[in-house]
Amino acid sequence: MAAEDKKQSVGPVTFVRQVRAEGNKVTWTSRQETIAATIMVIVMSILIALYLFSVDAVIGWLVSMITGLGGQS
């Protein structure tokens, strides 16, 4: 195995310093942006759930009408 294939190991203190340095480079979103994005995800999830429920109900109704099964006892 060549020397350049080996990964250089670092001590825990150096590792923590490197992690903090990388964390400082990140552009973090503001609290307001995070809340807005969370609300949008929740709203879109509800809309998609309602759409899928509606499509499932219509397809179920169509299948029961075509096959004559369900709904009447």
Helix (H) or strand (E) holding 44: helix 31-67
Residues 6 or more apart whose Cβ sits within 8 Å of residue 69: 63
pLDDT-based confidence at 3, cuts 50/70/90? low
Where residue 44 falls (left for φ over 0; alpha for ψ -120 to 50; beta otherwise) is: alpha
Note the pLDDT tens digit of each residue in 4-60.
556 778 888 999 999 999 999 999 899 999 999 999 999 999 999 999 999 999 999
Please tell me the distance from the alpha carbon of residue 29 to that of residue 40, in angstroms, as a whole number.
15
pLDDT for 9 equals 84
